[in-house]
Chain A
Amino acid sequence: MKIMGDFGGLGIFFVVTLIFPITALIPAFLLQPRHPTKQKGIPYECGVDTIGKTYVQYRIGYFLYALIFLVFDIETVFLYPWAVRFGALGLFALLEMFLFLGILGLGLWYAWKKGALSWK
Chain B
Amino acid sequence: MENLTVGAAAEWIRSVILLILGNELLTDVVMKFVGLGACIGVILTAAIVLTYAERKVCAFMQVRLGPNRVGGRFGLLQPIADMLKLMSKEDIIPDGCDRIVWALSPMLLFVPSALIYGLFPFDEGVVFADVNVGVFLLLAISSQSVLPFLMGGYASNSKYAFIGGMRTVAQMLSYEAPMVFSLLGVVMITGSMRMTDIVAAQAENVWFVLLQPIAFIIFIISATAETNRTPFDLVEDESEIVAGPFAEYSGMRWALFFLAEYANLLSISILTTTFFLGGWHGPFLPGVFWFWMKVLFMVFVFMWFRWTFPRTRIDQMLSFSWKVLLPLALVNMMFTGIGVYVWRSMM
Interface residues, chain A, CB within 8 Å of chain B?
A: 3, 5-10, 12-14, 16-18, 20-22, 24-25, 27-29, 31-36, 40-46, 50, 54-55, 58-59, 61-62, 65-66, 68-69, 72-73, 76, 79-80, 83-88, 90-91, 93-94, 97-98, 101, 104-105, 108, 111-112, 117-119
B338 touches which one: A5, A8, A72, A94 (CB < 8 A)?
A94
- The segment from B4-12, B219-227, B265-273, B315-323 found at the interface with A is B315-323
Interface residues, chain B, CB within 8 Å of chain A?
A: 28, 32-33, 35-36, 39-40, 86-96, 106-107, 110-111, 114-115, 118-119, 128-132, 135-136, 139, 156-160, 162, 166, 169-170, 173-174, 176-177, 180-181, 184, 187-188, 191-193, 242, 247-248, 251-253, 255-256, 259, 314-315, 318-319, 322-323, 326-327, 330, 333-334, 337-338, 340-341, 344-345
A43: chain B residues at CB < 8 Å are 94-96, 156-159, 248
Q: Are B106 and A16 in contact (CB under 8 A)?
A: no
Q: Are B330 and A25 in contact (CB under 8 A)?
A: no
Closest Cβ of chain B to A56, distance in Å, is 8
For the residues of A in contact with B, the DSSP-based class is helix
Taken together as a complex, chains A and B put the C-alpha atoms of A102 and B90 apart, in Å, by 56
Known contacts being A94-B341, A105-B327, is A10 close to B252, with CB within 8 Å?
Answer: no
Known contacts being A40-B92, A62-B166, A117-B322, is A3 close to B158, with CB within 8 Å?
Answer: no
Closest Cβ of chain B to A103, distance in Å, is 11
Q: Are A73 and B319 in contact (CB under 8 A)?
A: no
Q: Are A6 and B129 in contact (CB under 8 A)?
A: yes
Q: Are B162 and A101 in contact (CB under 8 A)?
A: no
Known contacts being A21-B110, A43-B94, A44-B248, is A6 close to B341, with CB within 8 Å?
Answer: no
Q: Are B87 and A10 in contact (CB under 8 A)?
A: no
Taken together as a complex, chains A and B put the C-alpha atoms of A101 and B331 apart, in Å, by 9
Taken together as a complex, chains A and B put the C-alpha atoms of A54 and B66 apart, in Å, by 38
Q: Are B334 and A32 in contact (CB under 8 A)?
A: no
Q: Are B128 and A9 in contact (CB under 8 A)?
A: yes
User: Can you give 10 contacting A-B residue pairs, CB < 8 Å?
Assistant: A12-B36, A14-B115, A25-B252, A29-B91, A35-B90, A50-B159, A65-B318, A69-B177, A72-B326, A90-B344
Q: Are B191 and A65 in contact (CB under 8 A)?
A: no
For the residues of B in contact with A, the DSSP-based class is helix
Q: Are A44 and B191 in contact (CB under 8 A)?
A: no
Residue of A nearest to B345 (CB): A90
Q: Are B87 and A31 in contact (CB under 8 A)?
A: yes
B255: chain A residues at CB < 8 Å are 24, 28
B337 touches which one: A45, A65, A94, A111 (CB < 8 A)?
A94
